[in-house]
Structure 1
Amino acid sequence: MCDPLRTPSEWFPDCTDEALEPHLHWLTPRLISPVTGRLILPIQSFLVRTGHHIILVDSCVGNDKTFAYFPHWHRRNDGTFLERLANAGVAPEQIDYVLCTHLHVDHCGWNTRLVDGRWIPTFPNARYIMARRELEAAQAASGDDEERTYEDNVLPIVEAGRAVLVDMDYELDGEVWLEPTPGHTPGHVAIGLKSRGVGAVFSGDLMHWPMQCIYPDWSFRYDTDPDQARRTRWAFLEACSDNGRIVMTSHFPLPSVGTISRRQSSFWFEDHQPP
């Protein structure tokens, strides 16, 4: 999913035309639609194969979900997600773990699917790893009939006994672990990886587009704690800069994978070039 939904200032209240203007030559058309002026933010999951497990990082929007605030996501009927998983040679039953960076609708939608009027785990053999603090926050925010993310995407996983609630620094094994990155949501985590001496991280929604590397103080409209989100973003960018750590982002333009470098008083996201 890469449909433009909102303008830069609608997503990022601190964004101004003056700040954007010097960057329009590289933002358009890859990140900003030249037709509508809206941001192009992919919605995606990542499939990880380790020496021991098959892991899904986040699970997009899902089908049949109630999300009236974004009609484009509301009660979708689209087989693309499962088709692409099959094209990668993986059946839902083969997923060992679903790692949730956080529990917003565009990151946990395919956690469940609707079968005979009830929500069941899409990945029936998987353990769904969720930060305990994130689950508690999602539960506290539930009860909105126009947006049933907790009721439809999360609670059925808990009731099916497939949820594993963990601390925000939980380590799955020597190759995969969680890193606390609160701010966008209270229990938001990044997911660290290491393989063959190469380090990487899935950044989730601690940043949504490359301009936040240049302006780390720009918070996203739906950050639950903007001040915390800014501190987290600065710390993350500092920790990842100029060391080759591969950063896999949720909403940067495809392929959404790159490295961070220092650029004057802020940072720059460079698309990753495999060796």
Structure 2
Amino acid sequence: MRRRSAWRSSARVALAAAALLACAGAPRLRDPAKSGVWGYLRLVPHEGVRAQDIAGATGGYGDRRYADAPLVDYSKPGFAVVYLDGEAVDGPPVALALRAGAAGLRFEPDTGAVAAGGRVVVENRSGAARVVSCPAAGVLRRVEDGASLAFQAGRAGELEVFAPDDPRARARVFAAPGPFAAVDEAGRYALLDVEPGARRLHAWHSRLPPAARAVELAPGTVTRVDLELGVGHAGGEGGDAR
């Protein structure tokens, strides 16, 4: 009897823990009059390519035209942004630092997301004066060591930031035209306390074609929408509204 009682108690604890984990998946709104959407972004390999064959692989593609392009690791989302259209947002600037090392110049971090119209700030910590360029923003300026350069991401889309002294030193910034979130290492994103209604949810990736789908966001609910990105593939799966 004691063994059965202990087993039942353990089973109840396990079920309770599973229920808590399931509930913890859906984020909560701060404003009950607003809405939200969350989910996971998954990368889908091109037909005939298996994700497990690419994960952890080194080198480039077999086609000589893309010999210098690193393989896309479909097991990881990498730098990707999910955003909604139709609502202007404010947000903090993207902060980049230009540093020098044994391998040359580099930006840290080398990716970032900002609201369209927001600021990009580049601080030169390389130990010498450097030229910083962002063609999409019309920026080409010499920045002294220890000084910073700030410019506006005036339009939505991708901006590349360069240090012409070293062709390998570059950073990618995505300027979103609406509420946005960069996905985490697991591919998870969450957009909370946004205006309810019929919206379009977009997914952008630095190496893959973008995708979009229509969503209906109800007041007081957080809807799960899982998205997929890949060459020749764009889609998503709607989930429960919570």
TM-score by length of 2: 0.29
More strand by share: 2
More helix by share: 1
Higher Cα Rg: structure 1 or 2? 2
TM-score by length of 1: 0.27
Which of structures 1 and 2 has the larger relative contact order (alpha carbons within 8 angstroms, sep 6+)?
2
